[in-house]
Amino acid sequence: MKEKSNSCQTKHYLSIIMKKIIIIALILLAYWIPVQKVHAQKVAVKTNLAYWAVGATPNLAFEFALGKKVTLEVGGGLNKWTFSENKKMKHWLVQPELRYWFCESFNGHFVGLHAHAGGFNVGNFDIPIGRLDVFDNKRYEGYLYGAGLSYGYQWVLSKRWNLELNLGAGYAHIDYDKFDGPHYCGMKLDEGKENYWGITKAAISFIYVIK
C-alpha cells in the first residue's frame, strides 16, 4: 500500500514539474518567434566544465541570439551513474536562461534570468542543493523547481570558440522523500519540503559558435 502511495506521489511531482517547464517554454517561445522575424539567428553550443565536475555529469546547452543584445540559453544535464560503495548522484536538470548583453551578444558582460526544474536520487553523498541533512547510509529522492538571476562574462578566443564564466543565485523549492540506506529497497523514513535560497548556477563553459 505504501509502495502504491509513493508511486502516486512521484507521478504528482512529475506532473507539477512538467507543467512548470511547459509554461516557461511557452513564454520563452512567445518572445522568441516574433523577434526571429527581425534578427538573423546566431547559435552556439556549449558544455559546462564545472557541471562535469559534479559527479561526472554529461551536460549540453544551446544559446540562440534573439537580437543584438539578447540571447536565450537552453541547457541541462543528466547523471545516471552509480559509483563505488553504491554512491549515487543521479539527477536530471533543465535550466533555460534569458540574457541581456551590455555590448553585444556572445561578447563581454551579461546578466541573465534563469529558471530550473529537475529530479534527484542521491545516496551516500551530501546533496549539493538545499539544507538536507548530511548523511551516510541514507537516500534522498525528489524534485525541485525555481528561478534566479546571474551575471557572467564571455571571452572571444577565436572566430568560432569562446570561453564563459557565469554565476547565479536564486530560489529552489525542493520536495523529497528520505529512505533508510542508499538502496531502492530501503524503508521510507521521512518526507519533507525545503525552500532554498543561494547559489543556483555556476558555469565555466567552452563554447562553439555555429553561425
DSSP assignment of 36-67 equals HTTS---EEEEEEHHHHTTTS--EEEEEEE-S
Q: What average pLDDT does the chain have?
A: 80
Collapse the DSSP code of 33 into the 3-class scheme (helix H, G, I; strand E, B; otherwise coil) and give the result.
helix
Q: Which residue has the higher pLDDT, 25 or 54?
A: 54
Using 50, 70 and 90 to split pLDDT, how confident is the model at 32? low
Pick 2-209's CATH classification: 2.50.20, 2.40.160, 3.30.379, 2.60.40: 2.40.160
Q: How far is CA 116 from the centre of its chain?
A: 5
Q: Are 200 and 168 in contact (CB under 8 A)?
A: yes
pLDDT in tens, 45-63: 999 999 998 778 899 999 9
| Amino acid in the structure at residue 13 | Y
Per-residue pLDDT at 12: 56
- Distances 167 to 21, 57, 148 between C-alpha atoms, Å: 22, 18, 10
Distance CA 90, CA 81 (A): 6
Instruction: Determine which of 55-69, 131-145, 152-166 has the lowest per-residue pLDDT on average.
Output: 131-145
Rounded Cα distance, 9 and 191, in Å: 11
pLDDT tops 70 at residue 156: yes
Ranges of each domain in the chain: 2-209
The lowest-confidence range among 89-93, 101-105, 115-119, 164-168 is 89-93
Task: Please say if the pLDDT value at position 171 is more than 70.
Answer: yes
